[in-house]
Structure 1
Amino acid sequence: MSAKAILSHYKVVDCTVAMAGPFATQRLGDLGADVIKVEPVTGEWQRFASAGGAGRTGINASFLSLNRNKRSLAVNLKTPEGRKIVQQLAASADVFVQNYRNGVAERLGVDYATLSKLNPRLIYVSISGYGATGPYASLPGQDLLLQGLSGSMFSTGNVDDEPVPSGMFVADATTAYCAFEGVLAALLYRERTGEGQLVEVNMLDAMIALQMQEISVTTIGGRSQIRTEENHAHVHIRAPYAVFRTLDSFMIVSMPPLAVLAEVIGEPALAQFQEERDGFPERDSIHRLTSAKLAERTTAEWIAVMRERDIWCGPVHDFEAMLQDPQVLHNGSMVEYDHHTEGRLRTPGFPIRFEKTPASIERGAPLVGEHSREILAEIGYSSEQIQSFLVGDTIAETVIPSATATRA
């Protein structure tokens, strides 16, 4: 990694799978940390799982998207030698991240109590679905389950339909950012004190915290989630606040002054409503009047006239349209880089800009055990010992041919 990268002198041991953990550690890698992905000798399961029927790649697109800027150590943690290797790795690391099921870290000898004795400066991050203790501690923490349990799913959709889940893995992504923030805060504390510590993040608390405003409307304001007959976008926002069908596609209209909207779309009945008095209790009526008029013209036509009057509005992109959006292109939101076996990849970049210490992509997602040999050499193992580990199935490696094939 570049010496200018903000985390270039930190080593992270990444014992995570799926999304929340790998997404968090990839963020650290984007900022220059040396992230060592510890995975089974057969590779993390997500390397091989399908992702939306995506073709082209030999490695699952999800894995590629969550594991760039990492090195892979393929090691069998069920063997004494494998456990010793990872313990020795943690002894020289700054951060250790795991999202094992409760009890697994202890069984494998990589729990906080064990590793903190070897390295008191270690920042140990434990990611779980519901927390380390409690009635749900042993339950699987999967994204959709957490959307339902946290109350977020009940905030969209109409009263006669099923609650509507997010179109993205919002619980995983939110938890990943909480873990990322936790590492940075703990590193800052260690810089001041020299002390490592345990950092615990769980998906349930992350999703609850994400809904700071929504939940507070209930706990402080005493208002429950009142769903509408129409597909209103949020249970606590006045109308119109929704996606509307136009003559050719869809568009969003967000909390406009009703008198102005009445004039712009040519629906005088909207002018009888006042935002603060009627905007919430009359959401269905306001929505229906707006919806009927917006179906008469195209999205581009409506956006043009609404923006002239400073009405908050916008298109509903699919991914193909989003990738061509002029602001997305201007921001450089997407990045491209080459991978050993998967060719040229295009994925979202790092969303935070630093003037002096920019994020960068130095390598794509590693192959299984691609860096096993070099990582073990760095922590003191000889060539003979490494070779014996390979023969004894304690570790695995993938050797990259000198001339790798590149897919178009």
Structure 2
Amino acid sequence: MRVLEGVRVLDLSIAMSGPFAAMKLGDLGADVIKVEPLTGEWQRHAAAGGATGNEVNASFLSLNRNKRSLSVDLKSEAGLAALHRLVATADVFLQNYRPGVAQRLGVDYETLRAIRPDLVYVSISGYGETGPYARRPGQDLLLQAMSGALFSAGRPGQAPTPAPYFLVDAFAAYSAFEGALAALFHRQRTGEGQLVQVNMLDAIIAAQMQEISVRTVGGVPQRRGEAIHAHSYIRAPYGVYPTSDGYLALTFAEPARLAELLDEPGLASLDAERDGFERREEISTLVEARLRTRDTAHWLDVLGAAGVWCGPVYDYDELLADPQVRHNESFVSYEHPTEGRVTTPGFPFRLAASPPSVTRPAPLNGQHTREVLADAGLDPESIGRLEADGVVHSAAPASRPPAASPAL
């Protein structure tokens, strides 16, 4: 039996943070019902990186496994009534609307707790439910920029470089997942439901627990330098350095040890703790010059054998081929009715007694409308009327052959 088996989650969220959090609950066994508009959730139609599918794109597939889809018009009286019936059977309700939208739709916490008093209601916002920025768009890059993190690396006078993935969305998703689990545990002990509020700004601030505390507790400001350095609060050398044929990641190496291994006498008299910060530019410049003289494989052999912390810099294809990644089974694959074999990142933790698994592929829009409404107590005739009136949408069978998925 999986950990959350028997828990029902209504996922009304869009884009990444909410769907990712709900998917993680589904991975642990929860019955996650993705409640979508008649045309399908926005993410179905926004191809990430130009990747498209037959009927479901890669971005949607990556965030919506282990869910059922209910396609319904919540702006209609009959559609909202159907959802309210489903709320009575739910344990968790998750949404990431802008402040005020849930109340306007009739799915705010106060309305739904009157239907299900012990409901765990998770609300994700960009900057918080109230305050001067409450109505600003909660977009990942904007929050990365605001978080302060971008000035902990890079060079003065150069534009800061953001993370090349949706870092803030991911942290917000994990925060919502954690909050939902905590609230479910509280309910199990007390019988009480509650409102769980998560915002992306607080999530990315909390993720910088060490870095920001160095400033607030230690009083040390961020300082970018001209030489390669990946983190203003870590001593040199620390970063990604060019080699003769690529790049090498190098961290926490003792300058005196590098003097011998790199044949660079200028490092011999330098102490890691004493000089690692104050002479950061000098250390990084000397290391960079020497690493450029040989290829990556050479330095991995020489430095790795000496116990120096270093590693390769992969692209995604190299990541997929790595023996440790394969050993860990870091990716999961499953068959999808329209997209063929789908391979996506798997589960970041292991549970020995109740492991997460993929039991449902990412759904087609409205694929489970009829069975979900039946769960809410509607009879087939009532469901048929809702379909005929255009209040709900049920997916038609797949009409295109499955596409081939890249092999792992």
Match of 1:269 among 263, 266, 271: 266
Distance across 2 between alignment mates of 1:144 and 1:150: 10
Distance across 1 between alignment mates of 2:55 and 2:71: 19
Give 4+ residue runs of structure 1 displaced > 6 Å after superposition.
none
Instruction: Give the match's secondary structure for 2:203.
Output: helix
Total equivalences in the alignment:
404
Instruction: Give the match's secondary structure for 1:52.
Output: helix
- TM-superposed deviation, 1:405: 2.8
What is the 5 A alignment of 1:49-198? 49-198=46-195
- TM-superposed deviation, 1:284: 1.2
- Other-structure match for 1:260: 257
Distance across 1 between alignment mates of 2:243 and 2:140: 32
- TM-superposed deviation, 1:55: 4.4
Distance across 2 between alignment mates of 1:114 and 1:236: 47
Structure 2 spans left out of the alignment, 5+ residues: none
- Other-structure match for 1:405: 401
Distance across 2 between alignment mates of 1:30 and 1:112: 25
Instruction: Give the match's secondary structure for 2:233.
Output: coil
Distance across 1 between alignment mates of 2:389 and 2:62: 32
- TM-superposed deviation, 1:57: 4.5
Contact kept, 8 Å, 1:90 with 1:119, in 2: the verdict is: yes
TM normalised by structure 1 equals 0.97
Distance across 2 between alignment mates of 1:245 and 1:45: 41
Distance across 2 between alignment mates of 1:298 and 1:192: 59
The one-letter amino acid of 1:171's match is V
The one-letter amino acid of 2:403's match is R
TM normalised by structure 2 equals 0.97
Distance across 2 between alignment mates of 1:37 and 1:210: 28
Distance across 1 between alignment mates of 2:175 and 2:365: 27
1:176-222, Cα deviation, whole Å (9 max, x unpaired): 00000001111111110011000000000000000000000000000
Match of 1:200 among 197, 200, 213: 197
Instruction: Tell me if 1:224 matches 2:221.
Output: yes
The one-letter amino acid of 1:351's match is P
- Other-structure match for 1:233: 230
Instruction: Give the match's secondary structure for 1:305.
Output: helix
Contact kept, 8 Å, 1:130 with 1:203, in 2: the verdict is: yes
Instruction: Tell me if 1:16 matches 2:13.
Output: yes
Distance across 2 between alignment mates of 1:322 and 1:88: 46
Distance across 2 between alignment mates of 1:74 and 1:108: 16
Distance across 1 between alignment mates of 2:309 and 2:195: 44
- TM-superposed deviation, 1:406: 2.2
1:5-27, Cα deviation, whole Å (9 max, x unpaired): 11111000000000000000000
Distance across 1 between alignment mates of 2:191 and 2:80: 26
Distance across 2 between alignment mates of 1:125 and 1:263: 56
The one-letter amino acid of 2:346's match is G
Instruction: Give the match's secondary structure for 2:5.
Output: coil
- Other-structure match for 1:32: 29
Instruction: Tell me if 1:42 matches 2:39.
Output: yes
The one-letter amino acid of 1:258's match is P
Distance across 2 between alignment mates of 1:355 and 1:367: 32
Of the structure 1 ranges 55-64 and 227-236, higher mean CA displacement relative to structure 2 is found in: 55-64
Distance across 2 between alignment mates of 1:111 and 1:379: 19
Contact kept, 8 Å, 1:51 with 1:62, in 2: the verdict is: yes
Q: Percent identity?
A: 55
- TM-superposed deviation, 1:85: 1.2
Instruction: Give the match's secondary structure for 2:350.
Output: coil
User: In structure 2, do the counterparts of structure 1 residues 153 and 399 end up closer, same or farther at CA, with 3 Å as the change threshold?
Assistant: same
- Other-structure match for 1:380: 377
Distance across 2 between alignment mates of 1:18 and 1:217: 33
Contact kept, 8 Å, 1:240 with 1:287, in 2: the verdict is: yes
- TM-superposed deviation, 1:404: 6.9
Instruction: Give the match's secondary structure for 1:22.
Output: helix
Structure 1 spans left out of the alignment, 5+ residues: none
- TM-superposed deviation, 1:231: 3.1
- TM-superposed deviation, 1:279: 0.6
Instruction: Tell me if 1:319 matches 2:316.
Output: yes
Distance across 1 between alignment mates of 2:35 and 2:323: 39
Contact kept, 8 Å, 2:54 with 2:400, in 1: the verdict is: no
Pairwise CA RMSD: 1.1
Instruction: Tell me if 1:391 matches 2:388.
Output: yes
Contact kept, 8 Å, 1:256 with 1:311, in 2: the verdict is: yes
1:221-247, Cα deviation, whole Å (9 max, x unpaired): 001111111231001011000100011
1:234-282, Cα deviation, whole Å (9 max, x unpaired): 0101100010001111011101011111100110101122111211121
Contact kept, 8 Å, 1:11 with 1:35, in 2: the verdict is: yes
Match of 1:300 among 297, 300, 304: 297
Distance across 2 between alignment mates of 1:111 and 1:58: 32
Of the structure 1 ranges 274-283 and 170-179, higher mean CA displacement relative to structure 2 is found in: 274-283
Contact kept, 8 Å, 1:148 with 1:154, in 2: the verdict is: no
User: In structure 2, do the counterparts of structure 1 residues 148 and 198 end up closer, same or farther at CA, with 3 Å as the change threshold?
Assistant: same
- TM-superposed deviation, 1:407: 2.1
Distance across 2 between alignment mates of 1:106 and 1:99: 12
Instruction: Tell me if 1:328 matches 2:351.
Output: no
The one-letter amino acid of 2:149's match is S
Match of 2:339 among 337, 342, 352: 342
- TM-superposed deviation, 1:155: 1.4
Instruction: Give the match's secondary structure for 1:272.
Output: coil
Contact kept, 8 Å, 1:340 with 1:404, in 2: the verdict is: no
Instruction: Tell me if 1:242 matches 2:233.
Output: no
